[in-house]
Amino acid sequence: GNSVTQMEGPVTLSEEAFLTINCTYTATGYPSLFWYVQYPGEGLQLLLKATKADDKGSNKGFEATYRKETTSFHLEKGSVQVSDSAVYFCALVYGGATNKLIFGTGTLLAVQP
């Protein structure tokens, strides 16, 4: 079936460090891929998305490229800030009209000053 696997956390980094959170997926067809972020006490917010192979999604300094050959959608940021501390979820949508989201387990990022 369709699923998303992302690296376990927590990931602890110092401010201005480089971030990579790995995400791989299993899906039939060609899903759309997403990264959602959940700040403490808040709901999930869309961070970025990509809808087809080789698309790059970007937002707030974060990037992720849809790699069909490796079925991956790794999240990267060149220089993290304390305010980036949150839980990051990789997700895919399949099913056409249903837009059903399948989430990974989430990765907690803690950025220390």
Q: Where on the chain is the footprint of another protein (CB under 8 A)?
A: 4, 32, 36, 41-46, 49, 51, 89, 91, 93, 98-101, 103-106
All residues at 6 or more sequence positions from 41 whose CB lies less than 8 Å from its CB, including other chains: none
Q: Which CB sits closer to another protein, 96 or 113? A: 96
Based on CB atoms, which residue is closest to another protein, 17 or 44?
Answer: 44
Residue closer to another protein (CB basis): 17 or 101: 101
Pair of tokens at residue 80: 């993290």
Beta carbon of residue 14, minimum distance to another protein (angstroms, whole number): 25
Task: Give whichever of 93 and 109 is closer to another protein, judged by the CB atom.
Answer: 93
106: left (phi over 0), alpha (psi -120 to 50) or beta: left
Give the span between the Cα atoms of 5 and 49, in whole angstroms. 17
Tell me the closest approach of the beta carbon of residue 89 to another protein, in angstroms: 6
Q: How far is the CB of 84 from another protein (least distance, A)?
A: 19
Contact 64, 73 (CB under 8 A): yes
